[in-house]
A and B are shown apart, each in its own frame.
Chain A
Amino acid sequence: MTVEFRNVSFTYWQADGPALQDISLHIPAGQFVVVTGPTGAGKSTFLQMLNGLIPHQVPGTLQGEVLISGKSTKGASVAELSREVGMVFEDPDTQIVSLTVEDDVAFGPSNLGFSPEDIRANVRQALQYTRLSGFEGRNPFTLSGGEMQSLAMAGILAMRPGILALDEPTSMLDPVGRARIISILKSLSAETKTTILVAEQNPELVIELADRVLLFDEGRIVKDGTPEQVFGDVETMLRVGVKLPPMLEVFWELHQRGLWKEALPFTVQAAAAALRPRMRSPGTAASIGAPSSPQAGDPIVDVQHLDHRYGDQVTALKGVSARFQRGEMTAIVGQNGSGKSTLAYHLVGILQPTNPQARVVVDGLNVRTTPLRELIRHVNYVFQNPDDQLFQESVAEEIEYGLKNLGIAEEERKRRLEWAVAHFGLQPYVDLPPKSLRRGLRTKTAVASIVAMQPAVLVVDEPTTGLDRRESLEIMQVLAGLADAGATVIFITHEMDLVVQFARRVVVMHAGRILIDGSPARVFSELPVLGQAWLSQPDIFGLAWTLGWRDLSSLRTPTDLADRISGSM
């Protein structure tokens, strides 16, 4: 099945400007297309045109024409188009309508009026493709994030569409979930003639599969070509603000220094193969990097023998003990369900230990016995979704809300407000309703409203979810600045490159226990332990390791690795 856009522009209802401008392109059958660009570039709008959600479901003004195998989407309903175009969205939670896996996959074919025999056959095949055979009777909400997104894909595949469009399918998943989805896409691409379009802010995940990359910025396609052509134009990628694959960043640095003239590799394997013949000195296996001593120093958070059970059956934490130092920036990593958030909830008193011998002390206060109102002056927590807390009519009121509740005097409130607004770069938005801002600014507002309360310990749950590279770095730099100023920052994340760049310490959790705790260099050198937690080395460590370097302690960014490589060429 083919896709054709003819001079397509679209403006959302009541929007100031167009979300898409004058898009014309042709996608032949069976092509694997990666659609990338920063937040708000028009990627989702582009995909929603394929199955007619725009203009049939989303209000706005559409100019031009979108043709699916020669048929205009204007003349067919979304339901009719769903026979040809399957759409998988970012959040698996909103796509699942039934309460067993089998029923959910059958929902689409049932709506299309397929015969019961055909439905059963399609369900069986879709479950096989998405590796969910054997899960038929399971409640979808007992599945992991990756399995849920696989289920959402199965629900679409069971309708047998010729075109599959996926809008940021991995952005809400942990590394295992991401790997699962990429592996399914790989099989689909290799074994079927399905035309696949994937919108991704982090294109490094799918770049190996792509036949073609469309780079969007401000509603326009600014680059259209093979992955080599699009990613080879690093200056455009950097100007637009798309996250470069780390290997590309390393080799771009080398290229800038005049040390690399050839094509820029994207993957660790390709990078290592390209570098080996050029290296003067082989890597040394000298040291793994200085081991950190997380239990030493002046602990501000002290957790001992912590257990937590949800109900009778689920043990979320088992015997967790950890100390966090004043002014330390720590990343907690691990798969969904490994106990990261449960541990964090105990630090702020949202949850209480379920074993009497557990001890959680923060800034000298016993969390179990200290009233929450007192505790939040010392330790606080920012939820992953900023919309869980934003409700005020302006950013300023949102930031002041917690301060008013704490009874802070007006003069001091104003001073903290000004500081937070300046610190988070929110000056232009201070009088705007937070709900009207894009996700990155909403996240900043949510973090600012907590930071303004000046807790000595700040726990932030996945602060970069849904943000593009530029926004992610801005948030992380603000958090690092707080740690430099003496606050203890603990952040939960699945983004390993951010861990390496910003954390001084990493706590790896698995099945309710701490598997390993140490500096990034040390933790990411323990490959068997990483494997146990279903984690892998960040690419810059991966390349250094493949080249034989075992001392990773000085590596934080691609520039650091480029420095090391420069010295060995």
Chain B
Amino acid sequence: MALFVYTQRNTLLHRLHPAAKAVWVIAMGLILSIYFDPLPLLILFLVNLPFFLLGKLPWRSWAKPFGYVLVLGLIGYFIMSLWLARPGVFTRYPDLVGISLWRIAGERFFLGPMAVTVGGLMYTAGQALRSLTLVLIIAVFVYSTRPNDLVYLLSKAHLHPKLVFIVMVAYRYFPHIFKKLSTVIAAQRLRGWELTFSNPLKMARQFLPITIPVLTETVRLADYTTRAVESRAYGTGHFTLHHELKMTRADWLFSLFWILLMGAFLWVYIGFGVGPL
């Protein structure tokens, strides 16, 4: 499964300068961090959609994990939305929160009032759209950007070598850790480990057989990788690329598009109060 893994292909997104793609990620990240209203978030998703398609992503292998994440996200956000039953939570649509579709618990309930409201459903939809868009942008960025180019870019930005190393290791080992996680879960299930739903403290303890081996592996990996990259002269401060990396007109246009889009959404957010719920 090529999820969050660079794959060499010849697509428009692969050919773009990593700096141009970084502008895209940063601009969209900023807008997505302040918008909660599902309607503008849907517009943002649709604006991004052609770029997801231009990347010729491996949709077939991505569909399943993304489907799981989306469903889990929807469930999580929906549960959270049940507590958004108090007026005043929503600034832009205060009336919607009052439209209760199903009242679950009142003020006397020890966790506070819970209800399925129109506002809550809007919150759920907005959060799901934000997450989906952001995760897809990051996945596309990682899928289409060579790790060496990223190291070069970050070095040029005068980021401390240790920070560049952290990015590089995360980029490279994210899939490895996922694979390790599934092996550890299998190993513990063969010793009778099962996840049962109980109070949060007990549930946290139930994860120890999984988290300890995975964390140990993560530390081991970081330690060995540090030794391996230092042995390959990492940290000298100068990194040269063996291929040419130049901003073309397409790169500038791509960057400009996202900067203008970010400006427009910020203007709408500040000027018209669109964005928050």
Interface residues in chain A, defined as those with a beta carbon under 8 Å from any beta carbon in chain B: 48, 51, 53, 57-58, 77-80, 82-83, 86-87, 89, 91, 93-100, 102-103, 106-116, 119-120, 123, 137, 139, 141, 155-156, 159, 311-312, 345, 348, 350, 372-373, 376, 380-381, 383, 385, 387-391, 401-402, 404-406, 435, 449-450, 453
Q: Which of A93, A312, A376 is close to B192, meaning CB atoms less than 8 Å apart?
A: A376
Known contacts A99-B5, A99-B146, A453-B191; is-contact A94 B225 (Cβ 8 Å): yes
With CB as the reference atom, state the residue of chain A lying closest to B175: A141
Q: Is the CB of A89 within 8 A of B224?
A: yes
Query: Is B108's beta carbon under 8 Å from chain A?
Result: no
Q: Is the CB of A98 within 8 A of B232?
A: no
Complex Cα distance, B221 from A93, in Å, reads 9
Query: Is B270's beta carbon under 8 Å from chain A?
Result: no
Complex Cα distance, B189 from A23, in Å, reads 47
Q: Is the CB of A116 within 8 A of B241?
A: yes
Q: Number of B residues contacting the other chain (C-beta, 8 Å)?
A: 55
Residues of B within 8 A of A97 (CB): 147, 168, 172, 225, 228-229, 232
Residues of B within 8 A of A350 (CB): 186, 189-190
Complex Cα distance, B224 from A113, in Å, reads 23
Interface residues in chain B, defined as those with a beta carbon under 8 Å from any beta carbon in chain A: 1, 5-8, 60-61, 146-148, 152, 168, 172, 175-176, 180, 183-184, 186-194, 208-209, 212-213, 216-217, 220-221, 224-236, 238-244
Complex Cα distance, B186 from A381, in Å, reads 10
Q: Is the CB of B224 within 8 A of A450?
A: no
Q: Is the CB of A111 within 8 A of B234?
A: yes
Residues of A within 8 A of B61 (CB): 311
With CB as the reference atom, state the residue of chain B lying closest to A77: B235
Q: Is the CB of A116 within 8 A of B8?
A: no
Q: Is the CB of B231 within 8 A of A373?
A: no
Q: Which of B192, B220, B236 is close to A373, meaning CB atoms less than 8 Å apart?
A: B192
Q: Is the CB of A53 within 8 A of B147?
A: no
State how many angstroms separate the Cβ of A350 from the closest Cβ of chain B.
5
* From A99, A383, A404, residue with most partner B Cβ within 10 Å: A99
Residues of B within 8 A of A109 (CB): 242
Residues of A within 8 A of B231 (CB): 51, 53, 78, 82, 86-87, 156
Q: List 8 A-B contacts (CB under 8 A).
A: A94-B224, A108-B232, A141-B5, A159-B232, A376-B190, A388-B180, A389-B188, A405-B194
Q: Is the CB of A380 within 8 A of B230?
A: no
- Apart from A97-B172, A156-B231, A311-B1, what 8 extra A-B contacts exist at CB < 8 Å? A51-B231, A53-B230, A94-B225, A103-B148, A106-B242, A112-B233, A312-B60, A387-B213
Complex Cα distance, B219 from A435, in Å, reads 13
With CB as the reference atom, state the residue of chain A lying closest to B61: A311
Residues of B within 8 A of A388 (CB): 180, 183-184, 187, 213, 217
With CB as the reference atom, state the residue of chain B lying closest to A398: B191
State how many angstroms separate the Cβ of B127 from the closest Cβ of chain A.
31
Complex Cα distance, B146 from A48, in Å, reads 30
Q: Is the CB of A94 within 8 A of B228?
A: yes
Complex Cα distance, B191 from A390, in Å, reads 11
Known contacts A116-B243, A388-B213; is-contact A159 B227 (Cβ 8 Å): no
Q: Is the CB of B172 within 8 A of A103?
A: no
Complex Cα distance, B180 from A80, in Å, reads 34
Residues of A within 8 A of B194 (CB): 373, 405
* From A58, A111, A119, A137, residue with most partner B Cβ within 10 Å: A111
Residues of B within 8 A of A391 (CB): 208-209, 212-213
State how many angstroms separate the Cβ of B18 from the closest Cβ of chain A.
13
Complex Cα distance, B236 from A380, in Å, reads 49
* From B221, B230, B236, B242, residue with most partner A Cβ within 10 Å: B242
Q: Which 3 A-B residue pairings sit nearest by Cβ, starting from the closest?
A: A405-B192, A402-B191, A391-B212
Residues of B within 8 A of A113 (CB): 236, 238-240
Complex Cα distance, B135 from A236, in Å, reads 60
Complex Cα distance, B61 from A553, in Å, reads 49
Complex Cα distance, B227 from A308, in Å, reads 38
With CB as the reference atom, state the residue of chain B lying closest to A85: B231
Q: Which of A110, A405, A435 is close to B240, meaning CB atoms less than 8 Å apart?
A: A110
Residues of B within 8 A of A86 (CB): 231
Complex Cα distance, B227 from A87, in Å, reads 9
Q: Is the CB of A390 within 8 A of B213?
A: yes
State how many angstroms separate the Cβ of B170 from the closest Cβ of chain A.
12
Q: Which of A155, A387, A390, A406 is close to B232, meaning CB atoms less than 8 Å apart?
A: A155
State how many angstroms separate the Cβ of B146 from the closest Cβ of chain A.
6
Residues of B within 8 A of A51 (CB): 231
Q: Is the CB of B232 within 8 A of A389?
A: no
Known contacts A99-B6, A99-B147, A311-B61; is-contact A53 B236 (Cβ 8 Å): no
State how many angstroms separate the Cβ of A263 from the closest Cβ of chain B.
39
With CB as the reference atom, state the residue of chain A lying closest to B146: A103
Q: Is the CB of A380 within 8 A of B190?
A: yes
Residues of B within 8 A of A100 (CB): 6, 8, 146
Complex Cα distance, B232 from A51, in Å, reads 10
